[in-house]
Amino acid sequence: MESEDTKKTQEMKTDLNLLLECLKHQMDNAFSQKEALVTIHSICQQNSNASVYFREIGGLMFVKNLAKSSEHSMVKEAALYTLGAIAEKNVYCQQTLCTSELFEDLTWFLSNDSNINLKRMSVYVILVLVSNNRTGQTLVRETSCITVLSRLFRTVLSKHELDLSDKNVFQSYQLWSSVCSTLCVCVNNPQNDDNQMFCCSLFPHANEWLKNCMKPEIIRPICSFIALTLANNTYVQKYFISVGGLDVLAQVLMQLESDSHETLSSAKLAVVVTKTLDACIADNPTFGIVLCKYHIVSKLLALLLHESLDSGEKFSIMLTLGHCTEDCEENQYDLFKHNGLPLMIQALTESQNEELNKAATFVLYNCKKITEKLSLSLGEYPFDENETQQLKDINVNEKNFEEHWKKAKEILHRIEQLEREGNREEIQRENYQDNISSMNISIQNTWKNLHGDHIGQGTKAEDKDKSHSRQLQSYKSHGVMSKAYTNDDQMKTPLKSANPVHACYRQSERNKTSYKAKSSCNQNLHEETTFENNFASQSSDHVFKHPVHIAKNIKQQLPVTDPFTLCSDIINKEVVSFLATDSCSKMLAYRCSGCIAVEKSLNSRNFSKLLHSCPYQCDRHRVIVEAEDRYKSELRKSLICNKKILLTPCRRRRLSNESTTPGGIKTRRIRKNFTEEEVNYLFNGVKKMGNHWNLILWSFPFQQGRKAVDLAHKYHKLTKRPKCAAS
Residues 211-248 pLDDT 10s: 998 899 999 999 999 999 999 999 999 999 999 999 99
Q: What pLDDT, on a 0 to 100 scale, did the predictor assign at position 100?
A: 94
Using the Cα atoms of residue 534, residue 522, residue 505 and residue 567 in order, give the sign of their dihedral.
Answer: negative
Task: Tell me, yes or no, whether 577 lies in a domain.
Answer: no
Cis check: omega of the bond before 190, within 30 degrees of 0: yes
pLDDT of 478 over the 70 cut: no
Say how many domains are in the chain: 4
- Tell me, rounded to whole angstroms, the distance of Cα 50 from its chain centroid: 45
What is the pLDDT averaged over residues 100-124?
A: 92
Q: What pLDDT, on a 0 to 100 scale, did the predictor assign at position 194?
A: 94
Q: What pLDDT, on a 0 to 100 scale, did the predictor assign at position 616?
A: 78
Reported pTM: 0.55
Residue 358: name the closest of 321, 327, 318 by CA: 318
Q: What pLDDT, on a 0 to 100 scale, did the predictor assign at position 406?
A: 64
Using the Cα atoms of residue 650, residue 651, residue 654 and residue 659 in order, give the sign of their dihedral.
Answer: negative
pLDDT of 550 over the 60 cut: no
Q: In degrees rounded to 5, what are phi and psi of residue 188? A: -145, 160
Q: Which segment of 129-143, 188-202, 213-227, 426-440 scores lowest on mean pLDDT?
A: 426-440
Q: Taking all residues of the chain, what is their mean pLDDT, rounded to a whole number?
A: 75
Q: In degrees rounded to 5, what are phi and psi of residue 100? A: -65, -30
pLDDT of 655 over the 80 cut: no
What does the alpha-carbon distance between residue 199 and residue 191 come to, in Å, rounded to a whole number?
A: 13
The better pLDDT of the pair 643, 429 is held by 429
Question: Which are the contacts of 152, defined by CB distance < 8 A and separation ≥ 6?
Answer: 110, 119, 123, 175, 176, 179
The better pLDDT of the pair 343, 638 is held by 343
Q: Domain boundary at 42, 64, 97, which?
A: 97
What does the alpha-carbon distance between residue 640 and residue 637 come to, in Å, rounded to a whole number?
A: 5
pLDDT of 263 over the 50 cut: yes
Residue pair 515/524 in contact by the 8 Å Cβ criterion: no
Q: Domain boundary at 97, 116, 146, which?
A: 97
Helices H, strands E: what count in the chain? 39, 2
pLDDT of 658 over the 70 cut: no
What does the alpha-carbon distance between residue 96 and residue 90 come to, in Å, rounded to a whole number?
A: 10
- Asked whether residue 197 falls in the same domain as residue 329, the answer is no
What does the alpha-carbon distance between residue 620 and residue 434 come to, in Å, rounded to a whole number?
A: 26
Q: What pLDDT, on a 0 to 100 scale, did the predictor assign at position 375?
A: 65
Q: What is the CATH number of the domain that holds 320?
A: 1.25.10.10
Q: Count how many Cα atoms sit within 13 Å of the Cα of residue 469 in the half-sphere of its side chain.
A: 10
Q: What pLDDT, on a 0 to 100 scale, did the predictor assign at position 473?
A: 41
What is the pLDDT averaged over residues 252-260?
A: 92
Task: Tell me, yes or no, whether 144 lies in a domain.
Answer: yes
Residue pair 383/391 in contact by the 8 Å Cβ criterion: yes
Quick: pLDDT tens for 172-205.
999 999 999 999 999 998 999 999 999 999 999 9
Quick: pLDDT tens for 599-624.
556 777 778 888 888 887 888 788 88
Task: Tell me, yes or no, whether 569 lies in a domain.
Answer: no
Amino acid identity of residue 114, one-letter, is: S
Amino acid identity of residue 240, one-letter, is: F
What does the alpha-carbon distance between residue 323 and residue 270 come to, in Å, rounded to a whole number?
A: 17
What is the pLDDT averaged over residues 396-416?
A: 61
The better pLDDT of the pair 434, 516 is held by 434
CB neighbourhood size of 71 (10 A): 8
What does the alpha-carbon distance between residue 298 and residue 320 come to, in Å, rounded to a whole number?
A: 12
pLDDT of 449 over the 90 cut: no
Cα separations in angstroms, 254 against 295, 313, 325: 9, 17, 18
Question: Which are the contacts of 222, defined by CB distance < 8 A and separation ≥ 6?
Answer: 180, 206, 209, 210
SS3 at position 60: helix
- Asked whether residue 82 falls in the same domain as residue 105, the answer is no
* Helix axes of 568-579 and 500-511: crossing angle, nearest 10 degrees: 160
What does the alpha-carbon distance between residue 360 and residue 320 come to, in Å, rounded to a whole number?
A: 11
How big is the chain, counted in residues?
Answer: 727
- Asked whether residue 173 falls in the same domain as residue 289, the answer is no
pLDDT of 66 over the 90 cut: yes
The better pLDDT of the pair 620, 557 is held by 620
Q: Which domain holds residue 78?
A: 12-97
- Asked whether residue 88 falls in the same domain as residue 107, the answer is no
What does the alpha-carbon distance between residue 110 and residue 175 come to, in Å, rounded to a whole number?
A: 11
- Asked whether residue 126 falls in the same domain as residue 231, the answer is yes
- Asked whether residue 237 falls in the same domain as residue 281, the answer is no
- Asked whether residue 90 falls in the same domain as residue 102, the answer is no
Task: Tell me, yes or no, whether 299 lies in a domain.
Answer: yes
Instruction: Return the DSSP state at 673.
Output: P
Long-range CB pairs of 247-253 (<8 Å, 24+ gap) are: 247/290, 247/294, 248/207, 248/210, 248/211, 249/210, 249/273, 249/276, 249/277, 249/280, 250/277, 250/290, 250/291, 250/294, 250/296, 251/211, 251/294, 252/210, 252/214, 252/219, 253/277, 253/296, 253/299
Task: Tell me, yes or no, whether 70 lies in a domain.
Answer: yes
Burial class (CB in 10 A: 0-12, 13-18, 19+), 486: exposed
Task: Tell me, yes or no, whether 65 lies in a domain.
Answer: yes
Q: What pLDDT, on a 0 to 100 scale, did the predictor assign at position 665?
A: 61
Task: Tell me, yes or no, whether 581 lies in a domain.
Answer: no
Residue pair 415/361 in contact by the 8 Å Cβ criterion: yes
Q: Domain boundary at 422, 452, 478, which?
A: 422
- Asked whether residue 102 falls in the same domain as residue 169, the answer is yes
- Asked whether residue 283 falls in the same domain as residue 418, the answer is yes
Task: Tell me, yes or no, whether 447 lies in a domain.
Answer: no
Q: What pLDDT, on a 0 to 100 scale, did the predictor assign at position 286?
A: 82
The answer for 633, left when phi > 0, alpha when psi is -120 to 50, beta otherwise, is alpha
Quick: pLDDT tens for 299-338.
999 999 988 899 899 999 999 999 999 888 888 888 888 8
- Asked whether residue 284 falls in the same domain as residue 324, the answer is yes
- Asked whether residue 224 falls in the same domain as residue 331, the answer is no
What does the alpha-carbon distance between residue 483 and residue 199 come to, in Å, rounded to a whole number?
A: 67
What does the alpha-carbon distance between residue 91 and residue 8 come to, in Å, rounded to a whole number?
A: 23
